[in-house]
Amino acid sequence: MKKIALLTPQQFRLLNNFEYAPYKYFGPSVAPDGSHFISEEEINDYEGEEFAWIKDLPLIEYSTELPDTTVPEMTGYGVHVPDECFKPEINLFPNNQFELNGFVMTFTPYSGGMAVDLAYFQWEAFRQEQLKPMASPTKVTFTTLWDTLYQKYLNQEIIAL
C-alpha cells in the first residue's frame, strides 16, 4: 500500500512546483476527496532544510481503489434530525443530501420533520469513509452530528417513516 502525508492548503502552496533538487520538483497532489498530499517517496528523497518539517508529517495509507458506494436498502425506520440543520438560511444539506467521496446519504422527510433511515447506520463502508484521516474536515462537521444521531439510535429513539 502506498503511503502519503496530508498537507494543509497552505503547505500545498508552499511545496507546489518547488525545485527541491536539480530537475526534481515536489508534486503535491489532490486526492479524490479534495485533500492535499505529497508522497512518501518525495519526503524520503528531500535532503534540504527549508522544508524539513515534511519529515515530521504523519504517513497514512493511500489507495485509489473505489469503495462500494451502493446505498443500502431503506428500513422505513429512522431517527429525527435536529430541525436547525434544515433551516433555509443554513442550508447545511442541499437537496436534503450529504455527499462524501461518492457516498450519498439522503435524509427522509416525515411528519415531524427530517429523519435519517436506520439503514445508513448499518452502512459500514460509509462509516469507514468518514473515519479516514483524509476526511478529518468532515469529522468536525458532519461526523459530530452523525454520532449524535447514532446515539439516538442506540437509545431506541426510533420513529416510523
Partner 1 sequence: MSRRIIYYAGKEYWEPETKKWLNANSVPKDNTLVAHGKTGAELWLGLNDLMVAAKTGLSLSLGSETIKTRIACWYPVLLGTTLGAVTNLADITKYTGSIVGGVTIDESGMQGNGTNGRMNTNCSMFLAKDHTSITATSTSLHVLSKTNNNALMCDIGVIDNGAGTQYDMAIYTRNGGNLITRLGSSGVNNSTTMADSLGFFSTSRRSSGQYKQLKGGSVVATITQAANTGNFNREFLTVGALNNDGSVIQFSSRKLVHPIYADGWTDAEVLAVYNAISTFETFLGR
Candidates 19-27, 91-99, 102-110, 135-143; binding stretch for partner 1 (CB under 8 A): 19-27
Decide: helix, strand or coil at residue 6: strand
> How far from chain centre, in Å, is Cα 89?
24
Q: Is 78 in the site for partner 1 (CB under 8 A)?
A: no
Q: Is 39 in the site for partner 1 (CB under 8 A)?
A: yes
**Residue span 118-157 as binding mask against partner 1, x where in contact by CB under 8 A, dash where not:** ----------------------------------------
CB closer to partner 1 out of 44 and 151: 44
- Which residues form the interface with partner 1 (CB under 8 A)? 2, 4, 19, 21-29, 37-42, 45, 62, 64
